[in-house]
Structures are given as structure tokens and as C-alpha cells.
Structure 1
Amino acid sequence: MGMEKNEILVIYGKKIEEMAFSLAEAADLADLIRDRDRRIGLKPNLVVARPAADGATTHPEIARGLIRYLQKNGFQNLVILEGSWVGARTGEAFPCCGYTKLAQETGVELIDTQLDSSKPYDCKGMKIEICDSAMGVDFMINLPVMKGHCQTLMTCALKNNKGIMPDKEKRRFHTLGLDKPIAHLNTVAKNDFILVDGICGDLDFEEGGNPVYSGKLYAARDPVLCDAWTASQMGYRPEEIPYIGLAEGLGVGCGDPAKAVIRELSPPSSAIETTPSGKARQYASFIEEDQACSACYANLIFALSRMNHNELNRIKGKICIGQGFKGKPGKLGIGRCTLSCDASLKGCPPGGADIIAFLQKQV
């Protein structure tokens, strides 16, 4: 079965390369691309030279799984292209993040867009310079990381396309306030297929340091719907991320997460195996966890991080979460495994925005 424009395909697990391959199969990606001679671009997020485990960059196993799928299906004209943020060098990020080795082993070309030529495009009323290598691609696969951002609150598919611009344009985006130019950029930037790295995105910052382990990947075809749904998972309403609504208004896609059709390829059944680190450990102190799935636990951490100090202090007792609470009593529970608690939020997993609304009613 192929993939509709309003669908989001979700897969959970630990074998990242196989998960990416399975998402490509489920989406029938080869049929979406069709022509085997088309030039296919893979655009990861390599904002800085930090390994993916720090929560800032796209796991190379995702690109490896997609490349294996594409080459198996007869696609050979492949390229990985990216430009790190201003002040960092993509030439350092490629080897640090595992992409130099990946390119050598698969024969796929690497392009550093920081070194690329560019030209201006009319992006629905705003002139924006875009790198020639990105515009020369026939089919673009966007590989963003689901993570926080200190200025735009979150970053995913739409913002990831900043990497296909020269550094001078990235600087200009910041002078314009980011939201409006990000929306306009995506009227021209290609988002033919999106596969989001939701394994362990950073809680707050684009450059990593506070990873929250979620253990999932998901695929989409509509970048606006993808970001709207991502926002809801992280505890935001889409209207809190202005570029989502602006992009919808420019005709880029749908900004209503309620219209997303979620198709799960596997259940979120693996219990968490990582210890919360950095800022995430602060929020873990509010939780009593027993065999919790990574996706459910991560959404609770994201939700707690969005609540203010007074709300957090009014939470009475620990918040129960995990399969170990099936049939057991408790005061406050998150997820369908805690239905025996006095107050419980259904969902497997419930989204971060729903968790916030639930907890605010209890305090």
C-alpha cells in the first residue's frame, strides 16, 4: 500500500537502518519517485559536528537505510547535501556525524552547500537565495531531527531546509525573524518525501546536549502537516510555531494535526533503556516509571518541560507511567497502561499537547 499526502507513517524500535528501510517500503517510495534516472537528494540535519546521540543531528543509519532501499530499487543518481549553521563547518560535520564513511561505502556523492553556488528565487513575494545543488535535484528527501530550538521553539521539516541556502542568506533570515522567511523558503524548496529522526532529539536546543530518547522514526509527504503533528507531540499547539501557520497560508501544506492520518507500522512496545541526562533528568524527578515505552516517556518529558514552575509545583505525588502499572492503583497516570489510576490519560502514546492539557486540569 502506498502513502497518501495526509498520512504520517510511524515506526518504533532500535534498529534504525531497518526502520528507515521499512518506512520507505511502506510508503512505496520507489513509486513516488518513479523515473530511475531522476537525481535524488537526501538532506539530513548536520547543524554542528556532533554525533546523533547528542540530539542535534540526523542518524546516518537513516540515510543508509534509504540508500539501500533506493539502490535495491534501481536508483543510482543519489546525493547527500547539507550546509551546517553559520560558524560551523560542514566539512567537519560530515566525518564526525558518520556521513563521510557512509558516502565512501555506498558510493553516494556528498555536497557541502556552504561551498556551493546559489541564485535568488521568488518565493511567493520574498526573494531568497537557494543553492544550485539543491535546485538541481529532481526529488528531495528531507531528513530532519525532531528537536527543540531556542528561537522557534521547535525545528523539523520546514526549518531543516535552511541548510540548502548560503551562509549569507542564513544570516539574513535571523534579521528577518526566522518564521516568515522559513515559510516563504518552503514555497520553492523541495519536500518530496520527509523521514523524521525522532530517535533522541534535543529537548530545547538545535545544537544538542539534552537528548530525550523517543525511539521512533516517521515519514510524511506534507511538510506543514509533518511539523504541525510534531509540534503536538512535543507539547505545542501549532499556532505557537508561527512558521507553520504562515507556510499553510502560502499554500505549502496543511497545518491542522487533527487531519493527519497516523499509520503505525509497529507498536511502541520497547521499554526505555536510556537514563535521562542533562535537563531531562530534572523533569524525571516528577515521574514514577515502570517499564515505560520510550515514545510515551519522551512525550511526558516534553510536556513537563513546557509547563511553568507553579504548575509543576502543584503536581501532587509522582506521575505514573509504564506497562508495570497495568491493573495497579495510583493517583495520576499517563498512557493506557495506567487506566487503574484515579486520573489517567488514554493514548498509546498520548501526545505532548494532550498531556499538558490533562495535567493542567489536575493541578
Structure 2
Amino acid sequence: MIKKITFKKGRLSKILLTRLNNYYKDAGIDPEFVTMKWQKWNKNPFMVTFIARNEDNHVGWIIYNPVNSTIEDIVVKYPSKDKDVEKQLTDALVAAETLVSAEIHKDDKTKYQWMLEYGFRPTRSFITDGFPLVKMDLSISVLLKKIHGTTPTKPYRKTETVVIEKIPEKRGYVDIKAGVMRLIDALGGINKFIKPDSTVLIKPNIVSDHGLKDGVYKGGIITDIRVIRALTELLLPVAKKIIIGEGSSINRSETTKMFKHYGYDRLVELSPSKISLVDLNTDKQVDKHVPGGKRMHTRKIPLSIEKADVIISVPVLKIHFAAVASLSIKHLQGAVPPLEKYMTHFFGLWQNLVNIHHLIKPQLIVIDGLTGQEDFGPVSGTPKRMNILIGGTNPVATDTVAMKVMGLDPASSPPVFLAYMQGLGPIEKEKIKIIGATIDEVASPFKQPDINLDCGRDIRIHADSACSGCAGYLHFVLNKLRRPDPKDESRMLIDRPFDRKVNIYLGPFVQHPINPDETNIFMGICQQHNAETGTHLPGCPPHAEVIVNGVFSLFPDVERPQYADKSEEARLGEMLEEILRTL
């Protein structure tokens, strides 16, 4: 990324107004459009005018709204045909602000074209004061490539503490409880976190019923209930009220059944007057404004979380086939209601995982590493016995240590890296103090999933520039085609011949030209500009159910795989339609 452009905050000036008028006059756009924008900018106390310089030379302006991370306009002092200056200004803004959007006039073809080349994609058309506008969202894949290897422009100042606690091999309950107690003591003790008369909400990971099938427990999928029991028993003498809250992601209406399935109802028996179980999927909700408004301006948060004095986050040490790792940052996806879960996919999963942490801030994080999960996590992977607990108070620092224990680079996980770049915590070794065992003592590389996008005779995948999100979710769906074709069991379903070749495009840039005489499927925001030339699967990355629907539309005679049970499928369909109506 070019860094020679520097910004200084300035003011709306006559020369800027002249440049704006000249630009839009040349573009053939009504001059009243400039008048409208100028008046709006002057009335908005949050609007920022960045004066851009290249060394000592003034090269242009960016008018930027930090409330919703939107570029209102980019104006260069000396326009050029190749638009290099505009792109350099955008590079500098992205380096400082990371994920940004823009709003441009629908008829501003010049700006639309260079923004498209840069990596912005048209996601919404709307009318403001009678003028047609287009919302342009920056591709996450493009963003991650541009900021790869960089550090935040505003460095994280604090040093965070993370504890690695080893648990004896036999892993008896007494050993686990003692380990939890030592971990909390190392972070300052229970009284540092819990004040008298506090309401404490413990958020475990109970993603689905996959962790206990036919009476056989499979570790690494859900939080080990012994860790939750230990926390609960330690809290009972000091907390006024203890809530164990979760919103399961699979069979979303059945979180209460998941509690019973794993024996959480027995935890209530420890003190029925103080302990309760809350399904965060059905809890009352409150609207919260997202600082910076990146991708989503508001989120709905369960009332129990909003009212809790203390939140304790207890994720599992596991791989995620798209996010690379599913730890404390990914964990809070289970803390929002179902429609919010799916909206995050449509508007940008990685950014919205970070957004949640602006609104829900656990005071204590305890990563359950008794048994982790490697390979195709977070549900279908392989258990990996680790016998550790990892605790901290900062999600980025805690996830950084956990990923290093797993043999992973924290910058390789999109949500962890975005959280770091947006100032939520450090990944630098010198800014994380580790207490207890060292990383080297407990490190054991976790096997990562092999993402296989190889296709059959007539299906071609074009994914040269795709990020791990779309690639991982498409792999998940393609695997469902790697089974005998009911029309001819001598071949795989994925090898079924088609009259027209099928192309699936993902990632912002593709080398293969689009042939309108072939069947074309375009995945995600990165391919939204091609939506009208084929079938578009909306999202960033699209939800697995959306990809299943899109890919299996090629096989109308084949029963579509179910993401959840039939009643959940129907509800999910209604949710998806509701989201699509808002786009």
C-alpha cells in the first residue's frame, strides 16, 4: 500500500467548492447536487474534511463521515486519466480507517469505474433529496490484501495480560476447578471482576447438539460443562445473580433443549434462586448504535447481556473452516439473536464480528482448551486433547495467544486481524504479558482444513482472489456434491454433465471472461457488480444456506441438504427474505 499521502484535517473551502462544481459539470450532473452536498456537509458537525498532501504538495481532499465510515466525496486538485491520485488517496484513508464505504451519484460513471477497479462494489441504490445515489462497499478481500503486513495507524498503547493454565492429564473436576481459580487469581482475583450484588452472565459455546450423540460425548465442539460449573461455583459466594446465556446457531429455536441435552439444567440446581438459563435467541432485545457504523449502523443485543454487570466469555479452542480460528472474537456471534446472525453474513461477517465487540465487552475470557478441535471446525472437526485453559481480559490478546498455541498466525484470521487493525487489542508479542505456562510449553499445531474447490466436468470455480470466507463456505457446500449421482451412480454428483458449462465466481477480481451463454453464479459482495448477468448469492461471505440453495438449483431432482430441521429451514427462509427486502 502506498503511504506517501498524508492527511491533515481542514475545512470546506472555496477552492474545494470550485473543484467540485467543475467535476460534476464535466460529468453532466445537475449542479444542484453539489449545492445539496455542500449544505449537508456544513450542517453535519461530525463531517471531516481531509486535506491530502504528497510531501509538500497539496493533491486533493476527502470528505469523510466517521459516524458511518463513508466517503462522501474524493476530489483531486489536478485530475488525471488513470485516476492514480484518487486511488492513492483512498489507500491512505483505508490505511487509517480500514473498512470504508462510499456514496456516489448514480450517473457519476468515472468515479464508479475507478472505484470498481479499486475494489468497491455497488450494494444498494437509493434516493437522497431527489438525487439517485449508489452505496459502494469496499471488498473485504481487497481490504485484507491492502492492509496485510501493516500495523494500525494508532498503535494500541496498553500491555495486556494472558494466562495459560495447564490442567493435569487426568482432568478431574477438582483439577479443572483449581485451574480456573488459579487463572482468575493470576488476572487479579475474583473480587477484581465481581462486585457484591453483581449480575454475571456466563456465555458458553453450545453451538449445536453435535457434541453429544447417542450418549457419547465428543469434546472440542461445545464448552466443557465442567469449566462452566467451576466458574459458577466460584461466583456463587460473591454474585447476586448468575445467568448462563447462549443462542445456539444450529436449530436456533432449541437452545433450551441444548441446555438440557448437555446437563445445564443441573447447574441451576446448585442455587435455583441465583442461577438461571437464558436463551439469547429469544431474549428481549435492545438496539445499540455501532461506533463507526462499519457495514451495520445498529445491532440488536439481548436484554440480559445489556443489563449484566459482568460478562464472562467461555469459547472453545478450535479451528474454523472460514475464520481460521473460532475463539473469543468469533464466539460472540452466538450472543446475538437469529436474524442478526444472518444479517452479519449479508453485510459482512468479519467486520460485524468486530462490531459486536464494541457493544458486548466481556470483562473476563476463559478459553476452554481441555479438548480443542482441529481440521474442519467448528463442528465437524477432530477433537484434540490439549489440557489447558487460556484466560485474559482483552479478546484480541487472548485470541493471539490461543492461535499461537495452535500454531497459527493471529493475522491470518480475518476477524482477529480486523479487530487488531481497528484498535481493539494487540497482537504484538511485546504488548502481551503471558503468565503461567509459556506458549512453547503447550503449543501443538492444529491441523487446518484442506479447502478443496476442485470441481467436476462441467463446473468451474474461479476463485483467484477470494478470501477464506467465500472459499471456506463454498468448500463446505461442494463437499455435499461429492457423492454418487442418483441419475448415474458410477459418477459423483459433482461430475454430472450439463448442457451449458457452469461457472462459479468468487473474490473481487477474476481472470476468466464472463460468457453469457453459460450458467454463471456470482458469490458475495465481491461479485455484486455482476449480479445482473447471472445468479447472485448475496453476503460476505454468503451464508451456507444461501450457497446450498444456489448450487443445488443446478440439481432440481436432488433433495437439498438441510442446514437444520424442517421447521428451522422454514424460519430461516423467512429471515433471508426479510433481509433481502432491506437490501
TM-score (structure 1 length as normaliser): 0.70
- Per-residue displacement from partner, 1:39-88 (whole Å, max 9, x unpaired)? 1111101111224633111111111111222223x223211111100434
2:408 corresponds to: 236
Return the match for 2:333 from 162, 170, 189: 162
Q: Say which one has the larger Rg.
A: 2
The answer on 1:261 being equivalent to 2:429 is no
One-letter identity of the residue aligned with 1:46? I
- Cα distance in 2 for partners of 1:165, 1:305 equals 27
- Name 1:284's counterpart in structure 2: none
1:195–1:241: structure 2 CA closer, same or farther, 3 Å change rule?
A: same
- The answer for the alignment partner of 1:110 in structure 2 is 277
SS at match of 1:18: helix
- Residue among 179, 201, 207 paired with 1:47: 207
| Change in 2 beyond 3 A, CA 1:307/1:170 | closer
Which one of 337, 344, 356 corresponds to residue 173 of structure 1? 344
1:252 partner letter = L
Q: In structure 2, how many angstroms separate the alpha carbons of the residues matched to 1:87 and 1:257?
A: 40
Q: Amino acid of the residue matched to residue 78 of structure 1?
A: I
Check the 8 A contact 1:5/1:220 in 2, yes or no. no
3-state SS of 1:253 partner: coil
Percent identity of paired positions between Structure 1 and Structure 2:
23
Q: Secondary structure at the match of 2:316?
A: coil
Cα deviation digits, residues 299-343 of structure 1 (max 9, x gap): 13x1x547999xxxxxxxxxxxxxxxxxxxxxxxxxxxxxxxxxx
Is 2:257 the partner of 1:92? Answer: yes
| Matching of residue 189 in structure 1 with residue 360 in structure 2 | yes
C-alpha contact 2:166 2:387 (8 A) present in aligned 1: yes
Change over 3 Å in CA distance of 1:87–1:308 after alignment to 2: closer
Query: Where does the alignment leave 5 or more consecutive residues of structure 1 unmatched?
Result: 269-292, 310-363
SS in 1 for 2:427: coil
Identify if the C-alpha distance between structure 1 residues 103 and 209 changes in structure 2 by more than 3 Å, giving closer, same or farther: farther
Cα distance in structure 2, aligned partners of 1:237 and 1:200: 20
Paired residue type of 1:58: T
Instruction: Measure the CA separation in 2 of the matches of 1:133 and 1:102.
Output: 18
Check conservation: 1:44, 1:144, Cα contact below 8 A.
yes
**Which of 285, 299, 302 is the matching residue for 1:128?**
299
The residue aligned with 1:11 is 165
Equivalent residue in structure 2 for 1:213, among 385, 392, 413: 385
Q: What is the rounded CA distance, in whole Å, between the counterparts of 1:306 and 1:114 in structure 2? A: 29
**Distance of aligned partners of 1:201 and 1:34 in 2 relative to their CA distance in 1, 3 Å threshold:** closer
2:372–2:385 contact (8 Å) kept in structure 1: yes
| Secondary structure of 2:358's aligned partner | coil
- Paired amino acid for 1:249: M
Secondary structure, aligned partner of 1:248 = helix
Q: Is the 8 A contact 2:268 2:277 kept in 1?
A: yes
Q: How many residues align?
A: 276
C-alpha contact 2:161 2:187 (8 A) present in aligned 1: no
Give the CA deviation at 1:98: 2.4
Q: Secondary structure at the match of 2:400?
A: helix
TM-score normalized with structure 2 length: 0.44
Paired with 1:5 and 1:99, the residues of 2 have a C-alpha distance of: 36
2:418 and 2:406 map into 1 onto residues whose CA distance is 20
Partner in structure 1 of residue 182 of structure 2: 22
Structure-2 change in CA distance of 1:266 and 1:222 (3 Å): closer
Root mean square deviation, CA, Å: 2.5
The one-letter code matched in structure 1 to 2:247 is: G
Equivalent in 15, 40, 61 of residue 226 of structure 2: 61
How far residue 171 of structure 1 moved from its aligned partner, in angstroms, is 0.8
Aligned-residue offset at 1:164: 1.6
Contact 2:399 2:416 in 1 (8 A): yes
Deviation of 1:186 after TM superposition, in Å, equals 0.5
Which one has more relative contact order, counting CA pairs under 8 Å at least 6 apart?
1
Aligned to 1:38: 198
| 1:101 maps onto 2:280 in alignment | no
| Contact preservation (8 Å) 2:161, 2:433 | yes
State the alpha-carbon separation in 1 of the partners of residues 420 and 333 from structure 2.
Answer: 18
Deviation, structure 1 residue 105: 2.5
Shift of 1:12: 1.2
Q: Output the CA distance in 2 between the equivalents of 1:147 and 1:267.
A: 16
Structure 2 Cα separation of the partners of residues 207 and 194 of structure 1: 21
Of the structure 1 ranges 186-195 and 256-265, higher mean CA displacement relative to structure 2 is found in: 256-265
Instruction: Give the partner amino acid of 1:67.
Output: T
Distance in 2 between the 1:138 and 1:21 partners? 20
The answer (yes or no) to whether the contact 2:410–2:416 under 8 Å persists in 1 is yes
Say if 2:401 and 2:439, in contact at 8 Å, map to a contact too. Answer: no
* Aligned partner letter, 2:178: E
Secondary structure of the structure 1 residue equivalent to 2:236: helix
In structure 2, C-alpha distance between the alignment counterparts of 1:187 and 1:267, rounded to whole Å = 28
Worse-matched range after superposition: 63-72 or 197-206: 63-72
TM superposition shift of 1:135: 0.8
Deviation per residue, 1:88-107 (Å, 9 max, x gap): 42112112222111122343
Q: 1:153-204 CA deviation, whole Å, 9 max, x = no partner?
A: 1111111111221100001112234111001111111211101101112113
The 8 Å contact of residues 48 and 84 in structure 1, kept in 2 or not, is answered as: yes
Alpha-carbon distance change, 109 to 151 in structure 1, aligned in 2, over 3 angstroms: same
Tell me how far apart the structure 2 counterparts of residues 202 and 250 of structure 1 sit (CA, whole Å).
28
Counterpart CA distance in 2 for 1:90 and 1:57 is: 13
Report the residue type matching 1:17 in the other structure: K
Deviation at 1:267, TM superposition (A): 11
Aligned equivalents of 2:207 and 2:328: distance in 1? 14
Amino acid at match of 2:263: G
Structure 1 residues 48 and 257: alpha-carbon distance in aligned structure 2, compared to 1, 3 A threshold = farther
In 2, the alpha carbon distance for the partners of 1:75 and 1:38 equals 5
